[in-house]
Amino acid sequence: MMFNFRSLFNTGLSNKINHYRHGQPIRTPNLLKGRDFLSLQNYTAEEIKYLLWVAADLKGRIKHNKECLPLLQGKSLAMIFEKRSTRTRLSTETGFALLGGHPCFLTAQDIHLGINESIIDTARVLSAMTDAVLARVYKHNDLEVLAQEATVPVINGLSDSEHPIQILADYLTLQEHYGSLNGLTLSWIGDGNNVLNSIMLSAAKFGMNLHIAAPKGFEPDPIVTKIAEEYSVKYHTEFLLTTNPLEAAKGANVLITDTWISMGQEEEKNQRLQAFQGYQITMQTVKMAAPDWTFLHCLPRKPEEVVDEVFYSPQSLVFQEAENRKWTIMAVLVSLLTDYSPQLQKLTF
């Protein structure tokens, strides 16, 4: 499937390029302290690898070696949640507390972002009382305003544009399973949503190929698609966008899908279920994949998205993936708030 990119700037999309081109990344991978974490587009390959290295280090030292690491003792974290979440809330709360810090959970009933108080005022108040802000929001622009006005790091816990902390967990899971990310082929079958955007903005940086199958009308953002195509040329990887799930699955090491109906899209349920007919990952899909195939899903999962035979198979890494949400968000927090250096030997990606 091809897009006519000449018409992008005539369709009202030109303002979105500013988000994906925002910020100049630091070139030294261990100089992340004080940074915001809004988009993987703003992080170099070495910086993302560094975060995964820290995550593997913390997991090894705390989970396996039973070490106590109060790296965030005396620090507090504001957690703004406009959208509910099991994994994002639990991973962040338990992870921050495990490192000795104090997480403060704020729902839409506690803090009406930009309603009862402007986002600018909220950012300044939170900056004076906490050491970092993690926000799970509907509008990505709200995160941009928070980050611009806050004097502490702001972390994207999910927005309508991206879900970068989820993708860190995905990559750590694949690194643990395959021993390296370079050369893997990822196959995304489903909605062109925020999770996919974060994959598209980072997979090629690791030398991973990316195949995408999405129904007509549910393709990924054209701006993100253009960047992904540029990355595939820069990093010498393969990028495929199609409407055929079996074509996308052909030769893939990793099959990935997500919910077809995200929060805020409930009114579109019937339309979406109809549009995604044929996109369920089944054993027929698996037969097209590589012999060493694995399966990822960021959860929660619905049966229409993937059959039980795949979801609960030995090749499914979804629960390891869910646990790694904790270690990767801990790595982000430690890297942005401290001068911590990993003790584990550097990973080979």
> Which of the residues are catalytic?
298
> What tokens does 246 get?
């079996």
| Residues 193, 187: Cα–Cα separation, whole Å | 14
DSSP state, residue 131: S
Edge-to-edge strand list for the sheet holding 154-158: 102-107, 76-81, 132-136, 154-158
First to last CA, the chain: 31
Concatenating the DSSP letter of every residue in 145-193 gives HHHHH-SS-EEEEE-SS--HHHHHHHHHHHHHHHS--TT-EEEEES---
> 240 - beta bridge partners?
211
Closest CA to 130 of 163, 107, 96: 96
Closest CA to 71 of 344, 330, 346, 256: 330
CA 299, 302, 306, 310 torsion-angle sign: positive
